[in-house]
């Protein structure tokens, strides 16, 4: 699997790798990638964490509203409350990196 010049692995590259490794038709490989990512998005939208054994866990965190400061101008502004997704790599992934 070779990532593009920006070192970003894309959906298409993942689907192409699945196609090469499994001999599934390219359309099915793309469908498989889309189905997996859709399932992950839906789980996160429901407030669930997504754990992929041997890879890592996608976790949701609620951040409270707070006052921030524009580093360029120094002007204070309110940063609204929001929900963010974080990723925690598994020990197996950390060992490989």
Enumerate residues 6+ apart whose C-beta is below 8 A from 22.
Answer: 29
Q: What is the pLDDT of residues 44-67, one digit of tens each?
A: 999 999 999 999 999 999 999 999
**Residue 1's pLDDT is what?**
46
The confidence score (pLDDT) of residue 97 equals: 85
**Residue 5: its pLDDT value, please?**
58
R_g (Cα) of the chain, nearest Å: 18
Domain boundaries defined on the chain: 1-48, 49-97
CATH (residue range 49-97): 4.10.520.10
C-alpha span between 29 and 87 (Å, rounded): 25
Give backbone dihedrals phi and psi of 32, rounded to 5 degrees, phi first.
-65, -45
What is the block-wise mean pLDDT of the chain (97 residues), using blocks of 10 residues?
A: 67 92 91 95 95 95 93 92 95 90
Q: What is the pTM of this model?
A: 0.73
């Amino acid at each position: 699997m070779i990532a593009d010049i920006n070192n970003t692995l894309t959906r298409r590259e993942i689907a192409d790798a699945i196609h090469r490794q499994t001999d599934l038709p390219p359309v099915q490989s793309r469908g498989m990638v889309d189905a997996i990512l859709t399932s992950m998005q839906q789980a996160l939208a429901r407030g669930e964490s997504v754990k992929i054994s041997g890879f890592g866990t996608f976790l949701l965190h609620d951040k409270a509203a707070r006052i921030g400061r524009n580093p360029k101008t120094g002007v204070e502004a309110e940063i609204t409350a929001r929900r963010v997704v974080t990723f925690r790599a598994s020990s197996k992934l950390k060992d490989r990196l």
